[in-house]
Chains A and B, each alone.
Chain A
Amino acid sequence: MIAYIVRRTLYAIPILAGVNLLTFVLFFVVNTPDDMARIQLGVRRVTAEAVEKWKVEHGYDKPRFFNGGAKGIDRLTDTIFYEKSVRLFVFDFGNADDGRSIRHEILTRMWPSLALQLPVFVLGLIAYVSFALLMAFFRGTYLDFGGVVLCVAMMSISGLFYIIGGQYLFAKVWRLVPISGYSGGLDAWKFLVLPAAIGLVAGIGSGARWYRTIFLEEMSKDYVRTARAKGMAETAVMFKHVLKNGMIPILTGVVVVIPTLFMGALIMESFFGIPGLGSYTIDAIQAQDFSVVRSMVFLGSLLYILGLLMTDISYTLVDPRVRFT
């Protein structure tokens, strides 16, 4: 088991290196730092000196991969690639364009993101699985049919409308919660309850429908027929056999998400003014702050790979047949 985890962790390194190389090529080769400087300083009426000054300030004045002018190991380390990309591996993200440390921002902003995402994730999982079980239990009846139609209708609505509509009704018309903002500590719930509820409702359509398919597929298997044939009550079949055996496909979709909960919800956070990583990313994209976007790309991939690893480990916990060698 430990050997397996170690091997999988080692396997993650080339993937992260690939991500790193890809983003490096996107940000520094396809477009030169000169282009970036011009975008930041305004495209027209920018002097060559200003561009140079900007590049020196941000450390973009070095060669890309190989520094012929330096000595020894510095030939490789005194380059943009080393300074900007390799250092991400030790979580040295550098500074954003406004001079603040990205690492510090990430460490403070991940908590509001998690505070919003965790309840959505946990309550959502419970709600979707319950709805799906209900529909699967009453399969073929009008309840099931109505449920599926409702699911398809709900998943056909853009998430933006859930957010805009929810915010308008609950915060503006009925004034139940503040429209936007955030405060630390326990008061945060006032600001989080509406976005969390919206996130939950917005996901019900696709979530419940997905789990319903899993359960229905599981219910068409032979062991379910055997269980029924031996006179087991339908509820017992559902909860003891179908739910447990449905865990493997459920885990595949669920566990991989857990680490990425830190990354926050992009749109939701920016609508409700929650100072999490999602709104940080959106602000960075809109301000064209490339160092922040690069750091977030790296962090996102890292967490995703962590999720994949956790998925594989979780299989052993729920299914004794799965063994890692």
Chain B
Amino acid sequence: MIPVVLRTDALLWLLVAAVAAYIVHVRRSPHLLVPWRRVTRSASGMSALMVFLAFVGIGLLDSVHFRPALETKDDRGETVYAVEAISILDAIATPLRARRERTYSAPLATRAYAKETIEIAVPGGKPRQVREFPRLIWGGAHLKSEDDRLSDVLARALAGLGLAFVVWCGLAAAVTATRARRAGRGLKEEWRSIWRAETVTPWWALLLTAGALLAIGGVVVSLCARYHVLGTEKVGQDVLYLVLKSIRTALVIGTVTTLVLLPFAVILGIMAGYFRGWIDDVVQYLYTTVSSIPSVLLIAAAVLLMQVYIDQHPELFPTTAQRADLRLLFLCIILGLTSWTGLARLLRGEALKLRELEYIQAAQAFGVRSGQIIARHILPNVMHIVLISLVMEFSGLVLAEAVLSYVGVGVDPTMISFGTMINAARLEMSRDPVVWWILLAAFVFMFALVLSANLFADAVRDAFDPRVRVGGLARA
């Protein structure tokens, strides 16, 4: 196989590296450890982080692309590679990808959702034509009689649950044993203190969340071997595969965008607040101008223009995947360029406040250059604002993607995303009977992703924002 690095893959892994570097940095700096310890004490925040990390894991699996070797060899006996790059997730989910039905089928169904004309062979006569719901090619194909479907589904779900429970028990035992050894206590005692929520880190919540994730994962994995757990869509593609692929798109939009907006917001915002004068005027003018344009319109205009460019230069984009990837990257850049204003305004205000403080004035009196003052004294002191707004920004961006794709200025129509899924499923709501499972699947996954991001963002804000703590004290 030949590895393929798409542009968004590279940026996504760059971000992972940045987060890892930040974690190392935090572990070394005691003053940063204090608020982060506070985050690890929040039950809802840590559970949300765990769910979020599960999504990130799926997204990262989907961000390592390669061109698999084909089984056929060319004339000279050399290996031939597929034209389209696939990701590790695609490789793992090959059964999901390959088992296509002809059209819609409901979750766990054995028959299609629309009647078709089928020929039934009559022994010793002409074949008879009947209008019937045809059996699916893959879904429940192993069943001898369809009456067994319910019991088969239940048996498989139970098997999945059982496996999940075994894994969970192992996990819980490992956590308890490690903690017990560190504290020098008995296992039983440690186990009790976890469930009485006496531990500083809310292990009970983490174990419960892990249990829920494992249970869902176990049931889905054991069922998806024989059924379409979330049904199939118009051309028979498994909906579970679609939602799994959508996760990466959402993650890219939510995180790569922040890479773009960060330099603008941080550099311009701090410079405006620190230098004041004409620089302040120019920066204020810039962000008022950009934020005065309705962002959807600005994004729409930019995306339309990019569409023109792509249409004019088809030679630059040999594969649809590359075109879709570039369009996704471009969408991130545009979103970043339109959304830096809020953070820049916040940072300007903070820098205005900080520059009047004694330690900055002392640095100035010592003749430290402005660049150094900003890098050494101002930047570290506004990092909590940057962090809070970046985490808060994430969920807004994921939600925005769906709306933009609906308007037709979001990701490439060939790219699988929550927006394109909703857009395609929307028209089916007027069908009778209604095709509901595609919307439901997109809803559940998107809701879980955004909710976990929101809850984690809340925990981070509570831990870092001094104002919130003052409010907390006043309440107590």
Contact = CB atoms under 8 A, between A and B. Distances in A.
A250 to B, nearest CB: 17
Interface in A23-46: 23, 26-27, 30-31, 35-36, 38-39, 43
Contacts of B470: 220
Contact of A161 (B293, B439, B458): B439
Interface in B406-442: 406-409, 418, 422, 426, 429-430, 434, 439
A285 B298 CA distance: 11
B450 to A, nearest CB: 4
Given A158-B403, A220-B474, A297-B298, A43 B311 contact: yes
Interface stretch (A57-65, A233-241, A300-308): A300-308
A31 B422 contact: no
A296 B312 contact: no
Interface stretch (A12-20, A91-99, A310-318): A12-20
A288 B289 contact: no
A217 interface: yes
B64 interface: no
B301 interface: yes
B128 interface: no
B475 interface: yes
B293 A266 contact: no
Given A14-B285, A168-B429, A305 B447 contact: no
Contacts of B343: none
B125 interface: no
A40 to B, nearest CB: 10
Interface residues of B, number: 49
A35 B467 contact: no
Interface stretch (B32-40, B223-231, B302-310): B302-310
B293 A158 contact: no
Interface string A242-286: 000000000000000000100100110000000000000110011
Contacts, number: 137
Contacts of A288: 304
Contacts of A18: 285, 289
B399 A158 contact: yes
Contacts of A158: 399, 402-403, 418, 422, 443, 446, 450
B277 interface: no
Nearest to B439: A164
Contacts of A293: 297, 300-301, 304
Contacts of A267: 403, 406-407
Contacts of B289: 15, 18-19, 22, 301
B301 A286 contact: no
A300 B292 CA distance: 7
Contacts of A263: 294
A208 to B, nearest CB: 14
Given A31-B309, A139-B475, A172-B429, A152 B455 contact: yes
Contact of B402 (A26, A153, A160): A160
A244 to B, nearest CB: 19
B297 A31 contact: no
B451 A152 contact: yes
A156 B403 contact: no
Given A15-B288, A43-B312, A267-B406, A297 B475 contact: no
B304 A38 contact: no
Query: Which has the most chain B C-beta neighbours within 10 Å: A157, A167, A260?
Result: A157
A140 B475 contact: yes
A325 B51 CA distance: 53
B471 interface: yes
A143 B293 CA distance: 40
Nearest to A221: B474
B63 interface: no
B395 interface: yes
B296 interface: yes
Contacts of A155: 454
A216 interface: yes
Contacts of B450: 156-158
Contact of A15 (B292, B395, B475): B292
Interface band, chain A: 35 or more
A153 B451 contact: yes
A216 B302 CA distance: 40
Given A26-B302, A297-B294, A301-B293, A160 B406 contact: yes
Contacts of A168: 429, 434
Interface string B303-335: 011011101100000000000000000000000
A216 B471 contact: yes
B305 A26 contact: yes
A119 interface: no
A300 B304 CA distance: 19
A98 B326 CA distance: 32
B399 A23 contact: no
A133 interface: no
Interface in B461-476: 467, 470-471, 473-475
A305 B292 contact: yes
Given A43-B311, A161-B439, A296-B294, A156 B454 contact: yes
Nearest to B461: A213
A260 B293 CA distance: 11
B308 A282 contact: no
Contact of B447 (A31, A36, A156, A308): A156
Given A152-B454, A157-B447, A219 B474 contact: yes
B429 A19 contact: no
A156 B467 CA distance: 24
A260 B294 CA distance: 9
Contacts of A297: 293-294, 297-298, 301
A159 interface: yes
Contacts of B288: 15, 305, 308
B141 to A, nearest CB: 32
B443 A156 contact: no
Nearest to A224: B474
Nearest to B312: A35
Contacts of B409: 285
A290 B429 CA distance: 32
B279 to A, nearest CB: 16
B308 A39 contact: yes
Contacts of B301: 23, 26-27, 293-294, 297
B429 A164 contact: yes
A281 B297 contact: yes
Contacts of B446: 158
Interface in B364-399: 395, 399
B297 A35 contact: no
Nearest to B429: A168
The 3 lowest CB-CB distance pairs between A and B, nearest first, are A220-B474, A300-B294, A156-B451
16 contacts: A14-B285, A19-B292, A26-B302, A31-B309, A38-B308, A39-B308, A43-B311, A155-B454, A158-B418, A158-B450, A160-B422, A161-B422, A219-B471, A266-B296, A297-B301, A304-B292
